[in-house]
Amino acid sequence: MEKMRLDKILSNSGLGSRKEVKQIIKSGEVYVSKKRITDPGYLVDPDKENILVNGEPLYYKKFYYLMMNKPAGVITATRDLNAQTVIDLLSHPYDKFNLFPVGRLDKDTEGLLILTNDGKLAHQLLSPKKHVSKTYYAEVTGKVGNNDIQAFKQGIQLDKDYITLPAELKILEAADISRVIITVYEGKFHQIKRMFNALSKKVIYLKRLSMSSLKLDESLKPGSYRELTPSELESIIISSKENC
Complex with ligand URA: residue 74 or 236, whichever CB lies closer: 74
Complex with ligand URA: residue 11 or 212, whichever CB lies closer: 212
CB of 116 to ligand URA, least distance (A): 19
E-strand spans in 56-102? 56-57, 65-70, 100-101
Contact yes or no for 185/132 (Cβ under 8 A)? yes
CB of 134 to ligand URA, least distance (A): 7
Please give the C-alpha separations between residue 143 and each of 118, 178, 202, in angstroms, as whole numbers.
Answer: 42, 6, 11
Complex with ligand URA: residue 43 or 199, whichever CB lies closer: 199
CB of 123 to ligand URA, least distance (A): 19
CB of 140 to ligand URA, least distance (A): 11
- Which one of the listed residues 88, 106, 108, 217 is annotated catalytic? 106
Q: How many C-beta atoms surround the C-beta of residue 146 within 10 A?
A: 10
Complex with ligand URA: residue 186 or 227, whichever CB lies closer: 186
CB of 79 to ligand URA, least distance (A): 19
- The binding site for ligand URA (CB under 6 A) comprises 105-106, 109, 190-193, 206
- Between CA 103 and CA 90 the distance in angstroms is 17
Q: How many C-beta atoms surround the C-beta of residue 154 within 10 A?
A: 12
Q: How many C-beta atoms surround the C-beta of residue 22 within 10 A?
A: 18
User: Does the annotation mark 45 as catalytic?
Assistant: no
- Between CA 103 and CA 113 the distance in angstroms is 8
Contact yes or no for 129/226 (Cβ under 8 A)? no
Q: What are phi and psi of 232, to 5 degrees?
A: -60, -45
Complex with ligand URA: residue 74 or 206, whichever CB lies closer: 206
Contact yes or no for 240/132 (Cβ under 8 A)? yes
Dihedral class, residue 108 (left if φ above 0, else alpha if ψ from -120 to 50, else beta): alpha
By annotation, the residues acting in catalysis are 106
